[in-house]
Every structure is written in structure tokens, then in C-alpha cells.
């Protein structure tokens, strides 16, 4: 079987499994977030944290819950890393340096999971399982909660209440993420991923000598790393490591885990606003962008010219032979079009255009289908912008889902769009202007520029993947990327929740003959065009200096 045909079959299998999961999972999540009943374990958690799950929250109170919980999480994870040398199960590893501990705490709480450390050489069992894995669950649940709050803003009228943050957080973990993770971990163990608490031991090498390896609760962390679109690997090689991702079947399963919740949330959205067709329109927009990126990535990696490339069957540099170009391309697109950041290949070794696609996928806002929660609310903000532009073209007050898009709403949506580009381009410019940061670059020229642009794009967009050619474990990068991750995660949430509150206060607008039909393919096409123009072109000058210049030169 040719590698190209194998890639097409993998893509078809992935689409089929996602399609089978779409309806039951989407409906289940709608029931979870609409239910008035609390499970007994959830009641125990509410009692332990002093929460009142039935109390409705307006957007400022909801936001305070998000920020307070996240701030405590950053502090807890920072202190856990600083105390690692004194903890049991530390495997002899010392405490993490302050700047790196801050960077890692910010990274995992922000659902970014950027790693400036090698997991198997730095983190013991307690930090991995009691700190990092826990944040993989709760940071994902925070994103889902914010998305559901925005959906309620569209669904509710003449009330500013968006639900209860603590109830949404706990339900997301207990009823959605935890059950799927248990099943997924068993699947990964069956595929060959390890799950233990063994210490460091020496193993022989084929070329002679020995090498040190340590085990860990890898399968359980791997499944929530992908399912929660987190991305933090137990080992430095991430999902290219055979202990995390043993074979082609586990590779396809992990890509499925990355995509299943973000896609299914569009049906949850349709259920909660009372129109499944509205959910299908958002799903169609996401699917078109994802399939387009996948096709382009496979094309540029399979068809790249040159003697070495042709002998290898494509651009195999930096890719695992277990997965090949097809499995690596599918993974790279899935991880950068969501906020996952896990990698099974080194994006720095992709072709110029291939590396550019991974960058652009993040720069679009990671909305196709995006991270758990963040993809849906990012796409809904883009839908608000698209409706506004359509209203300008026909001279009519824009409306979306029965809500008028006025001055207040469009200002909040615009602020949401501007935050991340300002962080990415601002930090990149400062880093290149200062004398010290460029010393961390492995390469010079266009590729070296791409390394730094990729680092801040990944951090501010809460992706977490790296170009693998930048030494980011320095005080400068640990501090600035840490700030980019926190600001890139929580500032947009401020504008999303404020927008949700503004929408929930409105009276519904009746549908008339002049109302834009936002459930039609025409609107999905308008939304795709809006995403490409408003967000994609924002980064075009920077992309022209980096991956585009490198690709054209090749």
C-alpha cells in the first residue's frame, strides 16, 4: 500500500469514528450542563470547597470564580514543584528552579502545557500525577465552563445569569472528562503504553553501554493530555515516545481524543440554543478548515522535491517511522488547530510550508475545532464578527441567534480578537530586538525567526507545541512565555464572559424576512472567509519573514 493511500485511509477512519461519537457525546454534554441534579460525589466536592452550586452567577461573579480558581492552581502547582526535592516519589530529582516552576505552573493552569524541561529528567511521580495530571483535568474543565457560559448567553433572555462556575467545573470533570479518560487509558495500555510507578533503572543499548529509564503513570496522563487538549508529555519526546504512543493504532486513537470533544461541543451548542442546524453550521465551518489544512499538510510533506525527499517517499526528517508522513501530518494539524500542543514529530523539521501551516493553525485562534471549550467560544466570537460584517454590507442591524449585535457586543468581540496578536507580535519583536534571547536560537535567518515566532504563538494561543530548535529554558523565555500564556488564556475569557452577560440581558429579536440565516451553508462560507481575512492576514507579514520565505527559498 502506498503511503499516500494509507494516509487517506487513516483520515477516513478518523472522520468515521468522530462521526459516530458526535451525536451521543454532544447530547450527553448538553444534558450534563443543563441538568439541575447533582451527583453524590459532586455534592461532596461542593461541600469541601464551600460552593453553592444552585446559585446563579452574573458574568463578573462567574469571572471571579474562573480567576480565583486559576490563581490558586498556579500557586499550588508552583509550590509543589519547588518542594519536589522533599517529596516522596521524587525519583531523586531536585526542586524545580523558580523561573521554570513559574513557567510550568502558568503553562498547565492555562491549558497550554508548554514544557521547557524534559519530563523524565526533571519531574517525579508526585508532581506528574498530583500536580500536572490534575491540572490537565481542571484546566480543560475551565475552558468548557466558559464556553457553556457563552452558549447560555445566547440561549437566555432578560437575565444576566450565566449559570454557576463551580457546578460547571465539577460536572465537566466528573461526568465528562473522567469517565472518558478511564476508558481511554485502558485502550492505551492495551496498545502498549506503560502505566506504573517504577523508579529509575538501567537498560542495555544495541550499540553497547546502558541508558537510564524511569516509568510512570503514563497512559492515564496521556489520555487526558489529548482529551483535554492539554499536550504536556510525560517524556521529553512527547507523543513520539513509544511509552506514550506505541504504534499506529495508538497514534490514530490519540488524534481522535484530541478532536472528539471540540467537534462534539458544536452539537451541545445546537442543543442548548434550541437549533441543531446552528450547531451544524459551526461544525461545517470547523470541518472545512480542518480538512483543508490536513490536505495541504499532506501535500507539502509528501510532494516536496529533492533527491533525499524522493528516496524517502517524502519529507521524513523529524518524523517517526512508526507513523510516517501521514500519521505525523494528521497529528500536526490536529494538535495545532486545537490548543493541544502534543507532538509526535518535530515541527522544526517540516518543510517551510509545512512549518508555516502549523504556525497558521495556531494563529487562526485554534478554532477548527479548537481546544475543549476555547475552540467553541472562539468560533462563536468569530460568528459575531461575521454577522456584523454581513450587516454592514446590507445596511441592517446585525443579529445572531435572536440577539442584536450592537456597539457593546462588537467592541468586546474586537478586544477578544486583538489580545492574542498583540501578545504574539509584541513579545516576538522585543525578543528579537534584545541581545540575549537570539542566543537561544539553533538556527539563523528565516528559520531562526520562525523559532521565536512559533514560541510566542504557541504560548499566547495556549497551544504548547514547540519548533524544537529553541532553547527556551532561560529566565527570559520562562518569564515572558509564562506571561504570554496567562494573558493569552484569561484576558480573552474576560471579554467572552462580558459578551455572554451582555447577550443574556437582551430581549429576543423576532425573525423577519431580512434576518440573516446563520444556519445555512452561505453563512458557513462567510464565516470561513471572515476567519481567513480577520485573523489569518493579521500574521501575514510575520509569516512572510519566516516560513513563507523559507519555503520559497527551498
Choose among 144, 142, 159: nearest CA to 501. 159
Residue 474 clears pLDDT 90, i.e. is over it? no
Q: Which of 63-77, 218-232, 393-407 has the lowest mean pLDDT?
A: 393-407
Give me 549's grid cell: 520565505
Q: Which residue has the higher pLDDT, 334 or 444?
A: 334
With cut-offs at 50, 70 and 90, classify the pLDDT of residue 324: confident
In the chain the first and final C-alpha atoms are separated, in Å, by 29
pLDDT score of 420 more than 80: yes
Give the confidence band of 443 by pLDDT, cuts at 50, 70, 90: low
List, for residues 185-241, the tens digit of each pLDDT value. Answer: 999 999 999 999 887 777 776 677 777 778 889 999 999 999 999 988 888 889 999
| pLDDT score of 288 | 96
Distance CA 550, CA 554 (A): 6
DSSP helix/strand/coil, 158: coil
Mark out the alpha helices in 192-323 (DSSP H runs): 218-227, 248-273, 276-302, 307-312
Is the pLDDT higher at 477 or at 383? 383
Q: How many angstroms separate the CA atoms of 35 and 24, rounded?
A: 16
Which position has the higher pLDDT, 26 or 352?
26
How far apart, in Å, are the Cα atoms of 442 and each of 107, 237, 439? Answer: 23, 18, 8
Rounded Cα gap, residues 237 and 301, in angstroms: 21
Q: Is 203 helix (H, G, I), strand (E, B) or coil?
A: strand
Phi, psi angles (nearest 5°) of residue 200 = -80, 135
Q: When comparing pLDDT for 316 and 206, which is higher? A: 316
Of 117-121, 326-330, 436-440, 466-470, the range with the highest mean pLDDT is 326-330
If pLDDT is split at 50, 70 and 90, which confidence band does 306 have?
low
Consecutive H or E run containing 8:
helix 3-34
Residue 38 has pLDDT above 70, yes or no: yes
Show the cell assigned to 18. Answer: 468522530
Task: Give Cα 432 distance to the centre of its chain.
Answer: 26
Instruction: Give CA torsion, residues 190, 192, 193, 196, to 10 deg.
Output: 80
pLDDT exceeds cutoff 90 at 246 = yes
pLDDT of 316 strictly over 80: no
Per-residue pLDDT of 525-543, as tens digits, reads 999 999 998 887 888 888 8
What pLDDT is recorded for position 302?
83
Q: How far is CA 3 from CA 58, 157, 298, 313, 324, in A?
A: 53, 53, 10, 8, 8
Q: Domain locations in the chain?
A: 372-553
C-alpha 292/C-alpha 252 separation (Å) is 19
Q: How far apart are CA 501 and CA 157, in angstroms?
A: 10
Beta-carbon contacts of 481 under 8 Å, excluding residues fewer than 6 positions away, are 103, 114, 116, 427, 455, 456, 459, 472
Q: Which residue has the higher pLDDT, 547 or 142?
A: 142
Give percent of the chain above pLDDT 90. 64
Q: CA-CA distance, 347 to 363, in Å (whole number)?
A: 15
pLDDT band at 309 (very low <50, low <70, confident <90, very high): low
Between 69-73, 202-206, 433-437, the lowest mean confidence (pLDDT) is in 202-206
**Cis status of the peptide bond prior to 369, with omega within 30 of 0:** yes
* Angle between helix 324-337 and helix 248-273 axes, rounded to 10 deg: 30
| pLDDT attached to residue 2 | 79
Cβ density class 312-325: b for 16+ within 10 Å, e for less: bebbbbebbebbbb
Please tell me the distance from the alpha carbon of residue 546 to that of residue 450, in angstroms, as a whole number.
5
Above 70 in pLDDT, residue 304? no
Cell matching residue 325: 508522513
pLDDT at 308: 47
The per-residue pLDDT for range 118-149, each reduced to its tens digit, is 878 889 889 999 999 999 999 999 999 999 99
DSSP symbols for 313-335:
TS--TTB-TTTHHHHHHHHHHHH
Query: With the C-alpha atoms ordered 316, 225, 67, 159, is the resulting torsion angle positive or negative?
Result: positive
pTM of the model: 0.94
CA 8 vs. chain centroid, Å, equals 24
Amino acid at each position: 500500500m502506498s503511503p499516500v493511500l494509507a494516509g487517506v485511509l487513516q483520515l477516513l477512519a478518523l472522520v468515521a469514528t468522530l462521526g459516530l461519537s458526535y451525536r451521543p457525546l454532544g447530547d450527553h454534554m448538553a444534558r450534563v450542563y443543563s441538568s439541575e441534579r447533582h451527583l453524590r460525589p459532586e455534592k461532596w466536592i461542593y461541600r469541601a470547597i464551600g460552593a453553592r452550586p444552585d446559585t446563579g452567577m452574573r458574568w463578573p461573579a462567574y469571572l471571579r470564580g474562573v480567576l480565583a480558581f486559576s490563581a490558586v492552581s498556579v500557586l499550588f502547582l508552583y509550590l509543589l514543584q519547588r518542594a519536589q526535592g522533599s517529596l516522596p516519589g521524587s525519583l531523586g530529582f531536585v526542586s524545580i528552579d523558580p523561573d521554570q516552576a513559574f513557567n510550568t505552573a502558568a503553562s498547565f493552569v492555562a491549558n497550554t502545557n508548554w514544557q521547557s524541561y524534559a519530563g523524565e529528567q526533571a519531574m517525579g511521580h508526585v508532581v506528574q500525577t498530583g500536580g500536572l495530571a490534575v491540572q490537565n483535568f481542571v484546566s480543560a474543565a475551565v475552558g468548557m465552563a466558559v464556553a457553556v457560559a457563552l452558549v447560555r448567553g445566547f440561549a437566555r433572555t432578560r437575565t444576566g445569569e450565566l449559570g454557576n462556575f463551580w457546578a460547571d467545573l465539577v460536572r465537566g470533570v466528573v461526568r465528562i472528562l473522567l469517565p472518558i479518560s478511564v476508558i481511554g487509558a485502558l485502550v492505551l495500555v492495551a496498545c502498549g503504553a506503560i502505566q506504573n510507578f517504577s523508579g529509575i533503572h538501567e537498560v542495555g543499548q544495541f550499540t553497547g553501554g546502558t541508558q537510564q529509564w524511569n516509568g510512570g503513570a503514563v497512559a492515564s496522563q496521556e489520555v487526558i493530555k489529548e482529551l483535554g487538549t492539554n499536550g504536556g508529555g510525560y517524556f521529553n519526546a512527547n507523543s513520539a515516545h513509544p511509552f506514550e504512543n506505541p504504534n499506529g493504532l495508538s497514534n490514530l486513537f490519540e488524534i481522535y481524543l484530541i478532536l472528539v470533544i471540540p467537534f462534539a461541543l458544536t452539537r451541545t451548542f445546537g442543543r442548548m440554543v434550541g437549533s441543531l442546524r446552528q450547531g451544524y453550521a459551526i461544525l461545517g465551518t470547523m470541518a472545512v478548515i480542518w480538512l483543508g489544512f490536513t490536505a495541504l499538510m499532506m501535500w507539502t510533506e509528501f510532494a516536496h522535491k529533492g533527491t533525499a525527499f524522493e528516496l524517502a517517499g517524502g519529507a521524513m526528517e523529524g518524523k517517526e517511522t512508526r507513523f510516517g508522513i501521514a500519521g505525523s501530518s494528521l497529528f500536526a494539524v490536529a494538535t495545532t488547530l486545537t490548543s493541544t500542543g502534543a507532538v509526535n514529530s518535530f515541527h522544526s523539521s517540516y518543510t517551510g510550508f509545512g512549518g508555516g501551516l502549523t504556525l497558521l493553525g495556531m494563529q487562526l485562534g485554534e478554532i477548527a475545532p479548537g481546544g475543549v471549550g476555547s475552540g467553541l467560544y472562539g468560533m462563536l466570537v468569530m460568528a459575531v464578527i461575521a454577522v456584523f460584517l454581513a450587516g454592514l454590507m446590507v445596511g441592517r442591524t446585525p443579529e445572531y441567534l435572536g440577539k442584536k449585535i450592537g456597539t457593546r457586543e462588537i467592541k468586546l468581540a474586537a478586544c477578544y480578537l486583538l489580545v492574542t496578536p498583540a501578545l504574539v507580535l509584541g513579545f516576538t519583536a522585543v525578543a528579537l530586538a534584545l541581545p540575549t534571547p537570539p542566543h537561544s536560537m539553533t538556527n539563523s535567518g528565516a528559520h531562526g525567526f520562525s523559532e521565536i515566532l512559533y514560541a510566542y504563538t504557541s504560548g499566547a494561543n495556549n497551544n504548547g507545541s514547540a519548533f524544537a530548535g529553541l532553547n527556551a529554558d532561560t529566565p527570559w523565555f520562562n518569564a515572558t512565555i509564562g506571561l504570554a500564556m496567562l494573558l493569552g488564556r484569561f484576558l480573552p475569557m474576560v471579554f467572552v464572559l462580558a459578551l455572554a452577560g451582555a447577550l443574556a440581558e437582551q430581549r429576543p429579536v423576532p425573525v423577519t424576512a431580512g434576518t440573516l440565516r446563520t444556519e445555512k451553508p452561505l453563512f458557513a462560507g462567510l464565516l470561513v472567509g471572515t476567519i481567513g481575512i480577520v485573523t489569518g492576514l493579521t500574521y501575514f507579514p510575520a509569516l512572510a519573514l519566516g516560513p513563507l520565505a523559507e519555503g520559497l527559498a527551498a
